[in-house]
């Protein structure tokens, strides 16, 4: 069932290709919904053994979000976010479940959670409790606003983080309401930052020969702050609040979304004097880059409409294919704004194997995104899609922790362990 986007023949030894970069690393995921589960998925893709602890009888609500295959009882999304993980149905709120969790923590390198601050403490899973069981455990906390500060207890999901971080304020057309991104970018970014933090902490332990663990504290809204480019600096220095500009960037011209004669939109980037000159030559105005009003980028931003009128007039007389080809021939960055159908059937995407069909016993073949980034050695792989709730409970609790049949039966009867 193993699939890899890096399975083509090459100079790298096949044995090296089958090695997983994070083989031997164990991760306990206590997350629900998206941010913590996505962080654990990234680690699992590169070989970490991820034990996803889920509430018996309920499981991660991600199992029920989005569309379902016909006749299926779990969503398409679950196939992706649950992939490469072993599902253990265990109620860690109960003392017996917490004790079992403690035994698993003793075998783990990383624990990732995204409950509201203080939740684990209320269940008796305190920092001291964790380090007593594994002194060098790396614990990753993801929450709406972080583990401290006056807003630590305020609930927050992806949309709230987009609004709080300034992302929504900057997204949308100038004279319309602020717009959330079309995808849960703060949740996904939190997963990226969390996985990066966990691997950085592990590497730091090795490089510094450190035997102590680490606590990583990540707020959803913080995930967007490094992406705000010069917006904070302009405000701090000049008191200037950057406003929405829609598809037209406020820092460069020409650039943005343009409509072709086929009725399709493309993004064109005319960044830099040389690219601008090549672009204007394509649209029949090689004289414009030599005019004083268009010499510098700041001047082109001021006179954006004059430039855009020329580009729009040229594009609307030509098909999308003609426009794209002309720009590519002139080495001008331009691309059609693609639907998912365009993306998944594009020869570049097909060539790089960005989507993989994986067999699934419950849902038939499921199409998943290939692991990224691509490593020439020890690449990421998809070994299986999201498991059924509690599918690995016996393998972990009985096969590894050696709980007896009688103990398991008792725990099941009281709803502490799931089937």
| Distance separating the N- and C-terminal Cα atoms of the chain | 24
CA distance 322 to 320: 5
Is residue 343 one of the residues assigned to a domain?
no
Is 187 annotated in the active site?
Answer: yes
For residue 372, give its domain range.
14-227+353-413
Joined together, the tokens standing for residue 50 give: 């991820």
Is residue 144 one of the residues assigned to a domain?
yes
3-class DSSP assignment, residue 253? coil
Assign residue 89 the CATH number of its domain: 3.40.50.10540
Assign residue 307 the CATH number of its domain: 3.30.1540.10
Is residue 3 one of the residues assigned to a domain?
no
Catalytic residue among 60, 91, 187, 360: 187
H helices of 303-392, in order, are 304-315, 320-329, 340-344, 347-352
pLDDT at position 1 is: 32
**Which domain-ending residue is among 313, 338, 363?**
338
pLDDT at position 19 is: 86
pLDDT at position 10 is: 40
Residue 361 CA to its chain's centroid (Å): 26
Q: How confident is the model at residue 360 (pLDDT cuts 50, 70, 90)?
A: confident
Phi and psi at 159, nearest 5°, equal -60, -40
pLDDT at position 267 is: 96
- Whether residues 323 and 221 share a domain: the answer is no
- Whether residues 189 and 281 share a domain: the answer is no
CA distance 266 to 336: 4
pLDDT tens across 56-110, in order?
Answer: 999 999 999 998 887 778 889 999 999 999 999 999 999 999 999 999 999 999 9
Cα torsion at 98, 100, 102, 107 (round to 10°)?
-150
**Which domain-ending residue is among 338, 373, 403?**
338
Is residue 55 one of the residues assigned to a domain?
yes
**Which domain-ending residue is among 338, 365, 384?**
338
pLDDT tens across 38-50, in order?
Answer: 999 999 999 999 9
Domain count, the chain: 2
CA distance 167 to 376: 35
Q: How confident is the model at residue 14 (pLDDT cuts 50, 70, 90)?
A: low
- Whether residues 272 and 173 share a domain: the answer is no
pLDDT at position 419 is: 76
* Most confident by average pLDDT, 242-256, 291-305, 350-364: 291-305
- Whether residues 195 and 79 share a domain: the answer is yes
pLDDT tens across 310-331, in order?
Answer: 999 999 999 999 999 999 999 9
pLDDT at position 6 is: 42
> Exposed, middle or buried: residue 144 (CB in 10 Å: 0-12, 13-18, 19+)?
buried
- Whether residues 145 and 204 share a domain: the answer is yes
Average pLDDT over residues 243-261: 92
Is residue 7 one of the residues assigned to a domain?
no
pLDDT at position 16 is: 53
- Whether residues 316 and 358 share a domain: the answer is no
The Cα-based distances of 167 to 145, 179, 236, 240, 252 in angstroms read 15, 9, 18, 16, 19
> Exposed, middle or buried: residue 279 (CB in 10 Å: 0-12, 13-18, 19+)?
buried
- Whether residues 399 and 263 share a domain: the answer is no
pLDDT tens across 198-210, in order?
Answer: 999 999 999 999 9
Residue 13 clears pLDDT 50, i.e. is over it: yes
Residue 362 clears pLDDT 90, i.e. is over it: no
- Whether residues 143 and 33 share a domain: the answer is yes
Residue 185 CA to its chain's centroid (Å): 7
Q: How confident is the model at residue 251 (pLDDT cuts 50, 70, 90)?
A: confident
- Whether residues 196 and 294 share a domain: the answer is no
pLDDT at position 69 is: 82
**Cβ–Cβ < 8 Å for 266, 337:** yes
DSSP strands (E only) in 74-196:
85-89, 110-113, 138-143
Average pLDDT over all residues of the chain: 93
CA distance 70 to 122: 40
Is residue 242 one of the residues assigned to a domain?
no
Average pLDDT over residues 229-249: 94
Joined together, the tokens standing for residue 114 give: 């995204």
Is residue 2 one of the residues assigned to a domain?
no
pLDDT at position 4 is: 40
CA distance 54 to 248: 45
- Whether residues 211 and 314 share a domain: the answer is no
**Cβ–Cβ < 8 Å for 124, 98:** yes
- Whether residues 312 and 363 share a domain: the answer is no
pLDDT tens across 117-171, in order?
Answer: 999 999 999 999 999 999 999 999 999 999 999 999 999 999 999 999 999 999 9
Instruction: Give the rounded percent of residues in the chain with a pLDDT score beyond 70.
Output: 95
Is residue 4 one of the residues assigned to a domain?
no
- Whether residues 273 and 327 share a domain: the answer is yes
């Amino acid at each position: 069932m193993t699939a890899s986007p890096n399975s083509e023949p090459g100079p790298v030894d096949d044995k090296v290709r089958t090695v997983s970069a994070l083989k031997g690393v164990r991760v306990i995921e206590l997350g629900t919904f998206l941010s913590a589960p996505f962080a654990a998925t990234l680690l699992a893709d590169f070989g970490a053994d991820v034990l996803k602890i889920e509430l018996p009888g309920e499981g991660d609500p991600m199992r029920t979000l989005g569309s379902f295959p016909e006749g299926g009882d779990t969503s398409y999304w679950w196939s992706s976010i649950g992939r490469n993980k072993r599902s253990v149905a265990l109620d860690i709120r109960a003392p017996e479940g917490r004790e079992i969790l403690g035994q698993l923590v003793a075998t783990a390198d990383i624990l990732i959670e995204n409950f509201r601050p203080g939740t684990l403490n209320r269940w008796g899973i305190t920092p001291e409790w964790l380090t007593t069981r594994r002194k060098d455990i790396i614990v990753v906390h993801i929450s709406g606003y972080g583990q401290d500060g006056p807003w630590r207890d305020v609930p927050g999901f992806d949309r709230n983080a987009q609004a709080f971080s300034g992302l929504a304020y900057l997204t949308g057309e100038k004279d319309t309401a602020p717009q959330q991104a079309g995808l849960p970018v703060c949740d996904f970014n939190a997963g990226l930052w969390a996985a990066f933090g966990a691997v950085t902490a592990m590497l730091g332990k090795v490089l510094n020969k450190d035997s102590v663990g680490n606590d990583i504290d990540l707020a959803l809204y913080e995930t967007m702050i490094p992406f705000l480019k010069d917006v904070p600096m302009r405000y701090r220095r000049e008191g200037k609040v950057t406003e929405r500009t829609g598809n037209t960037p406020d820092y460069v011209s020409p650039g943005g979304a343009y409509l072709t004669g086929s009725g399709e939109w493309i993004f064109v980037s005319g960044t830099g004097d040389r690219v601008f000159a090549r672009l204007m030559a394509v649209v029949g105005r090689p004289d414009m880059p030599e005019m004083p009003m268009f010499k510098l980028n700041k001047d082109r931003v001021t006179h954006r409409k004059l430039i855009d009128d020329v580009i729009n007039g040229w594009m609307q007389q030509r098909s999308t294919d003609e426009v794209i080809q002309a720009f590519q021939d002139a080495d001008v960055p331009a691309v059609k704004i693609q639907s998912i159908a365009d993306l998944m059937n594009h020869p570049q995407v097909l060539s790089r194997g960005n989507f993989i069909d994986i067999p699934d016993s419950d849902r038939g073949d499921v199409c998943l995104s290939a692991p990224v980034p691509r490593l020439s050695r020890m690449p990421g792989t998809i070994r299986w899609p999201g498991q059924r709730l509690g599918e690995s409970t016996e393998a972990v609790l009985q096969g590894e922790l050696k709980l007896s049949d009688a103990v398991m039966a008792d725990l099941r009867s009281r709803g502490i362990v799931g089937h």
